[in-house]
Chains A and B, each alone.
Chain A
Amino acid sequence: EIVMTQSPATLSVSPGERATLSCRASQSVSINLAWYQQKPGQGPRLLIYGASTRATGVPARFSGSGSGTEFTLTISSLQSEDFAVYYCQQYNKGGTFGQGTKVEIK
C-alpha cells in the first residue's frame, strides 16, 4: 500500500497570508494526486486533481504542484472560508489518503 504523509498536521495562518501544505508519497505516484478540502459537518470537496489541475469552480488562489513523491498545495492569500482540513489522495495504485492538515486562524 502506498502511504501518504502530510505536513504539518496543523498550520496557523493569518487571513491574507500564504499557506503551503505538503504531501509525500512512500513511492512514486506520478501526477496521480488529488487534494480535497473538508469543513466541519461537510463531505470533502475536490480542489485539485492531476497534481495541478483545479476542479470546476475552485478559486485561482488554490494551486497544486509536484510529481513523483513530493507534492504541494498552496493557498496564495487565505480567505476566511479557507480555514478547513485538507487531504491529499493518491490514485496511482488504489486510493489512499494522507492524514490531513488543519489550516487554522492564527
Chain B
Amino acid sequence: EVQLVESGGVVVQPGGSLRLSCAASGFTFDDYTMHWVRQAPGKGLEWVSLISWDGSRTYYADSVKGRFTISRDNSKNSLYLQMNSLRPEDTALYYCAKDQDPTGTVTYFDYWGQGTLVTVSS
C-alpha cells in the first residue's frame, strides 16, 4: 500500500523558515517524480514544486521561486521542502504527491498524503 506521510508543519512568524518532510512507503521511491501541492484554508489546490526521480530537475511555482527549495533523499525514501522568507499568504495545508512519471515534468498525481499545516502569522 502506498503511503505518503507529511510532517513539520507549525505556526511560524512572517520572514521565518521551516522544513517540511514527507516519508514515502509502498512503492519504489526513486522511480518517480515527487511534488508539493498546497491548499490555503477553504481554497483550491496550487502546485508548488517538483523534483525528478534523481533530483537533477527541480521546478517551482512563481509564487515560491527563490524562497522554497525542494530536495529528496532516495536512501531514506524521503521528500523535503525548505521554506524561507515565509509570508502570510504561504499559510496552507501542504501535500506531498507522487507523480506517475519519473522524468521531472508535471503529469497527474496518483497518490497524495494527508497534508501538514503551515501557518504564517505573528
Could you tell me if A100 and B44 are in contact, using CB atoms closer than 8 angstroms?
yes
- Binary per-residue interface labels of chain A (65-101) against chain B in the complex, 1 for a CB within 8 Å, 0 otherwise: 0000000000000000000000101010011111110
Could you tell me if B108 and A49 are in contact, using CB atoms closer than 8 angstroms?
yes
Could you tell me if B115 and A94 are in contact, using CB atoms closer than 8 angstroms?
no
A16 adjacent to chain B (CB < 8 Å): no
Q: Count of B residues near A, CB < 8 Å?
A: 19
Could you tell me if B114 and A87 are in contact, using CB atoms closer than 8 angstroms?
no
**A55–B112 CA distance with the chains assembled, in angstroms:** 14
Main secondary structure on chain B at its contact with chain A? strand
Name the A residues within 8 Å of B35 (CB-CB): 95
Main secondary structure on chain A at its contact with chain B? loop
Q: In the complex, how many angstroms separate the beta carbon of B56 from the nearest chain A beta carbon? A: 19
**Interface positions of B (Cβ within 8 A of A):** 4, 35, 44-47, 95, 97, 100, 106-115
- Option from A36, A49, A91, A100 in Cβ contact (under 8 Å) with B106: A91
Which chain B residue lies CB-closest to A42? Answer: B114
Known: A43-B114, A44-B112. A95 touches B106 (CB 8 A): yes
A34 adjacent to chain B (CB < 8 Å): yes
Could you tell me if A97 and B110 are in contact, using CB atoms closer than 8 angstroms?
no
Q: In the complex, how many angstroms separate the beta carbon of A53 from the nearest chain B beta carbon? A: 10
Which chain A residue lies CB-closest to B101? Answer: A91
A19 adjacent to chain B (CB < 8 Å): no
A46 adjacent to chain B (CB < 8 Å): yes
Name the B residues within 8 Å of A94 (CB-CB): 47, 106
